[in-house]
Amino acid sequence: MTQVYYAYSEADARHRDPLERQLRNLKQRGVISDWHGRAVGRVNARGEVSPHAKDADVVLLLTSSDLVSSDYLHGPELNLALERHRKGEARVISVLLRPCNLKGTPFANLPSLPRDGKPVTRWSDTEAAFQAIAAGIAGPRAATTATTAATGDEGSEAQPAAPQANGTSAGTAGAASRPAATAPSGPAGPSSAEVALRPDEIGPDYTAVEQPGAAEAAQGAAQGDAGRKFVSQARAGSRRVAQLVYQANDTADAVARLESAVRSEVSRGAELDPAGSITFAGATMRRVRAAGKTLTSSMLAAKGRYLIAVKVIDPAGTESEQDAMAFAESLTSRLLARIPF
């Protein structure tokens, strides 16, 4: 069973109770077996290693400017956690409590929660933020209870589950002919959130777009769809980027969903690149362009059991179609490079 350990600054003690409520829920569901936490200060953070940190399967770093400025970052406990992470003995995750600069920290390149890269204090509903964090902690394990197709559209722009010209979700067309979304078979691989790009990884000026219904989506993820599907939007000026990362049942299912999504795009007036399929890092990729008032350039790809979709939307038409498609292809290639098989 999974043991969770978390460390936080004394200045962030108010966030401990909502986090522990979510951890208690995970324990009741059998996702984790237990958890332990530790407050660290500027002075006493160095030198001590909790025995729980040595045995934890998941180590959470509740990050804020106070934690980042403490001695904890240079102490043996964090060094041990990072070493265990590198060896695959534990999973270290940065939980974003308050805005802070993580560049240059030992965990700057580690997975972070909430999945959209927005710190807890910037959510209008902090309880929903901690629900999303719990869903990310659960990871692929929570997918074992999923029984419905996870790529369906939720009916709002907030769920841009795939780059469709009309805002609907990729993979919805032909869903009845595909298998139900039972738990993926074989090795779990990285969660969908771990494959996806954070806003700052898309580009230095990109920020997350909070989507209507985010609280409901987080609640649904906490109840069993965590790790299976990740959708997000980010914005820089007038340009938006929507991402979908979805774990299908197997390779054949991922390819079937890709082809279904492409057919759905074309049926709505989008144009499939005449070059057809592209191959990158063992993946099949498709380029799709949607003409109209808004330039929309999409890349869809299947690799292993993963379905990837990236949509670049430029309402102002400030860049060429070629540049927008090159950007979408670059982002998709970076996502595919994170899938190790």
Compute the distance between CA of residue 73 and CA of residue 55 in angstroms, rounded to an integer: 19
Closest CA to 108 of 139, 68, 137, 74: 68
pLDDT given for residue 146 in this prediction: 24
More confident residue, 333 or 218: 333
Q: Which CATH superfamily is domain 3-110 in?
A: Toll/interleukin-1 receptor homology (TIR) domain (3.40.50.10140)
Q: List Cβ neighbours of 43 (8 Å cut-off, separation of 6 or more).
A: 71
Mean pLDDT of the chain: 75
Q: For 96-125, how does the pLDDT look when each residue is reduced to its tens digit (9 = 90+)? A: 999 988 888 888 878 788 877 789 999 888
pLDDT given for residue 316 in this prediction: 63
Give the global pTM: 0.47
Q: What is the mean pLDDT of residues 288-312?
A: 82
Statement: residue 79 has pLDDT above 70 = yes
Closest CA to 251 of 201, 320, 325, 187: 187
Domain ranges in the chain are 3-110, 144-336
Q: For 132-153, how does the pLDDT look when each residue is reduced to its tens digit (9 = 90+)? A: 898 888 764 332 222 222 223 3
Statement: residue 56 has pLDDT above 90 = yes
pLDDT given for residue 170 in this prediction: 35
pLDDT given for residue 184 in this prediction: 53
Instruction: Answer yes or no: same fold for 3-110 and 144-336.
Output: no
At 337, the amino acid letter reads: A
More confident residue, 207 or 274: 207
Compute the distance between CA of residue 203 and CA of residue 267 in angstroms, rounded to an integer: 32
- Classified by CATH at the fold level, domain 144-336 comes out as Protein Transport Mog1p; Chain A (3.40.1000)
pLDDT given for residue 61 in this prediction: 95
Lowest mean pLDDT among 71-75, 142-146, 246-250: 142-146
